[in-house]
Amino acid sequence: MSPSYTIIGTPFSTFTRSITLGLQYKGIAYKQVRVTPHSDTAYENHPFGFLPTLVIHNVDGRSDVKLRESQAIARYIDRVAPEPSLHISPGDGGAVIEEQMWEFVSFAGAHGFPAVEKGVVKPRVAGNDAGKLSDAQIREEIKPGVEKLQKFLAEMEAVMAPDGFVYGEKLSWADFFLYPLLADLRAIPEGELLSSRLRGWMDKMGELEAVKATSEGTLSVGARPP
Ligand SMILES: N[C@@H](CCC(=O)N[C@@H](CS)C(=O)NCC(=O)O)C(=O)O
């Protein structure tokens, strides 16, 4: 019996969406259990209650494996479904070596998640939803976060190809790790910080079937967890 897959994580989770983007793009069927971080189900599947976990059922014809950490999951997906490839080759978008794509992925996770989600998107959404502060007050509150976000966006754009995907003509995991963060950002007033290059890239991404198939339940379409 070949493996089947369950992804543990709400579509609202940006790391979860990076993985479902990859699964969709590669045509791998999966079930999704829509839970928030630190819920009972999150802890049952992840030692620290984070999202996502990919449950690989019947991995060896008998047992299940719970795979955590989105980059480990991406590596697994690439091994079982190498095509269509989400890797780059030297020369794509000005890259010199393939591993630069993983550097970009790690920048998005390690620096993008705090800069975009923690510093700006979450406090902005919480402020708007609570309805107690004016737009000007929220802007004042998130000012330090906005400054960090501007730096993050500028640095990421600086390593992107001048047009096309992150690595020019070649779609890669780099696009799938950055996109969920910036799709959320675009849905709030601070989306005004996105440059024309980043907006153009997002429009191009928005044409992908994988992006359309994973937008439901995300902040980018106005949803709330789970
Ligand atoms: N290094 C992890 C990070 C995953 C992560 O931070 N996920 C978020 C949801 S998008 C989470 O579970 N956060 C819980 C928390 O920050 O306490 C990965 O790449 O999978």
Decide which of 80, 103, 136 is a domain's last residue: 80
Rounded to whole angstroms, the Cα distance separating 176 from 133 reads 34
Residue 46 Cα: closest atom of ligand 1: 12
* Sole residue written with tokens 């923690």: 118
**Is residue 60 one of the residues assigned to a domain?**
yes
Over 80: is that where the pLDDT of 117 sits?
Answer: yes
Are residue 73 and residue 96 in the same domain, yes or no? no
Residues 73 and 102 in one domain: no
**What's the rounded Cα separation, in Å, for the pair 212 and 65?**
29
Same domain for 76 and 122, yes or no, is: no
CATH of the domain at 46: 3.40.30.10
Write the pLDDT tens digit of every residue in 53-83: 999 999 988 899 999 999 999 999 999 999 9
Same-domain status, 110 and 179: yes
Pocket around ligand 1: residues whose beta carbon is below 6 Å from it? 13-15, 37, 50-51, 69-71, 109, 113
| 35 and 66 housed in the same domain | yes
CATH number of domain containing 126: 1.20.1050.10
**% residues pLDDT > 70 (the chain):** 100
> Is 1 a residue whose pLDDT tops 80?
no
* Average pLDDT over all residues of the chain: 97
Specify whether the CB–CB gap between 3 and 57 falls below 8 A.
Answer: yes
Q: What confidence score (pLDDT) does residue 142 get? A: 97
Q: Cα dist. 204→128, 157, 175, 179 in Å?
A: 29, 15, 11, 11
148 and 69: one domain? Answer: no
What is the mean predicted confidence (pLDDT) over 90-106?
A: 98
Domain end (from 48, 80, 112):
80
Q: Which residue bears the tokens 């976060």?
A: 145
The alpha carbon of 49 and the centre of ligand 1 are apart by a number of angstroms equal to 9
| Residues 114 and 180 placed together within one structural domain of the fold | yes
Ligand 1 atom with minimal separation from the 49 CA: 12
Give yes or no for residue 106 having a pLDDT over 90. Answer: yes
74 plus 101 within the same structural domain: no
d(CA 21, CA 37): 19
Q: Are both 98 and 72 inside the same structural domain?
A: no
Domain range for 178: 92-218
> Which pLDDT does position 2 carry in this prediction?
86
pLDDT digits (tens, 9 = 90+) for 172-221: 999 999 999 999 999 999 999 999 999 999 999 999 999 999 999 999 99
In this predicted structure, what is the pLDDT of residue 61?
84
Number of domains within the chain = 2
Calculate the alpha carbon distances from 16 to 2, 12, 65, 87, 97 in Å.
23, 8, 17, 19, 27
> Would 173 be classed as within a structural domain?
yes
**Tell me, what amino acid is at 134?**
S
Q: Which of 14-18, 58-62, 152-156 has the lowest mean pLDDT?
A: 58-62
Ligand 1 atom closest to residue 14's alpha carbon, by position in its atom list: 10
Q: Give percent above pLDDT 90 in the chain.
A: 97
Task: Kindly state whether residues 112 and 189 are assigned to the same domain.
Answer: yes
Residue 212 within a domain:
yes
